[in-house]
Structure 1
Amino acid sequence: MDLITPGFGLVFWTAITFLCLLFILRKFAWKPILGAVSDREDGIVKALASAENARKEMENLTADNERILKEARAERETMLKEAREIKDKMISDAKEEAQVQANKMIEQAQDAIVNEKKAAMAELKSHVAGLAVDIAEKVVREELSNKDKQLQLVESMLSEATLN
């Protein structure tokens, strides 16, 4: 037998064996293999779609984050501006209140000074009047103790009264 040149029987049985094997593979293995490949292809397509959706969602989240950051910055600036305005208003109100209180205290002090001055003047007048009465009393006693001086005093008073 010649192993290098195949005979008709060998080719026939090889073809029959191949066709049987092909039929068995097609019946039992071909569908599961194609199903697995199809499932794998579907999985890859879904993974790619999911990755694309995730990328789009990340872009949306990034855009949302940027928008939220801008809004937060704007709100922060607004709050800082309002805080500065409130601070300035409080300072100006405090200055105005302090000025009003200072003016009121100055006015009260001036009133107290005027009142004290009037009281001091009244006391001084009273004291001077008392001193004048004491001096006049001593002078009059001295003058009235001597008769000649009494007459001289009466005459001087009369002359002054007529002159006025």
Structure 2
Amino acid sequence: MKTLILAAEGEAINPVLPHTSEIILGLVAFLLLLFIMKKFVAPRFETLYAERAAKIEGGIEKAEQAQAHAQELLEQYKAQLAEARAEAARIRDDARIEGEQIISELRAKAQEESARIVAQGQTQLETQRAQIVAELRGELGKLAVDLADRVVGESLEDEVRRRGTVDRFLAELDGASAPATK
């Protein structure tokens, strides 16, 4: 009603301008809200912000440390891998050299064994040849004596005569065959 009375007195009420009491009450409420925000809310936000920033920075530091550690491990791995490759190459070279030595030793042993077998074979052949020649000389001598017995008509039973005749005949035979083989 008071507004009506004032309106009746001739003062015009401006609907855009608030009343003074509303302005004072709004200003007090704003200052009270500002005080509460500065006293309680802003410090809480600051601590949460600082904690979060510290966590992020700590996480970045941890990530950088982990990355540095991973890089060190990678370098160690690469060094070990290079060392293992060098060791493998050295082992391969040693094995190849050892293999070549074994092959050359086996070749030398095989050649020695071959030479021994050939020499043994030649010795055996010479022995057999000498044995066969002796057998053939005896047989040839007997045949020659029998033939001479028939041709000459006299007996060559005397051992000394027979041996002399056979030896002479074989010497002539050897003499005749020696120029033919050369």
Per the normalisation by structure 1, the TM-score is: 0.73
Corresponding residue number in structure 2 for 1:103: 115
Are 1:130 and 2:149 counterparts? no
Read off the aligned partner of 2:118 and give its amino acid letter.
I
Match of 1:55 in 2: 67
How far apart are 1:124 and its partner, in Å?
1.1
Please name the residue that 2:48 is paired with: 36
- Name the residue aligned to 1:13: 25
**1:133-148 correspondence to structure 2 within 5 Å:** 133-139=145-151, 142-143=153-154
Aligned-pair distance for 1:27?
5.1
Q: Tell me the percent identity.
A: 28
| Structure with the higher helix share, 1 or 2 | 1
Larger relative contact order, structure 1 or 2 (CA cutoff 8 Å, min sep 6) = 2
Q: Which blocks of at least 5 consecutive residues in structure 2 are unaligned?
A: 1-12, 156-182
Q: CA 1:64–1:113 in 2, change beyond 3 Å: closer, same or farther?
A: same
**Which sections of structure 1, spanning at least 5 residues, go unmatched?**
145-164
Question: Please, which of 103, 116, 133 is the counterpart of residue 121 of structure 1?
Answer: 133
Cα separation, 2, equivalents of 1:3 and 1:38? 47
Instruction: Note the C-alpha offset of 1:143.
Output: 4.0
CA offset digits 1:8-27 (Å, max 9, x no partner)? 64454333212321343345
One-letter amino acid of the counterpart of residue 76, structure 1: A
Q: Which amino acid aligns with 2:119?
A: E
User: How many residues in Structure 1 have an aligned counterpart in Structure 2?
Assistant: 143
SS at match of 1:104: helix
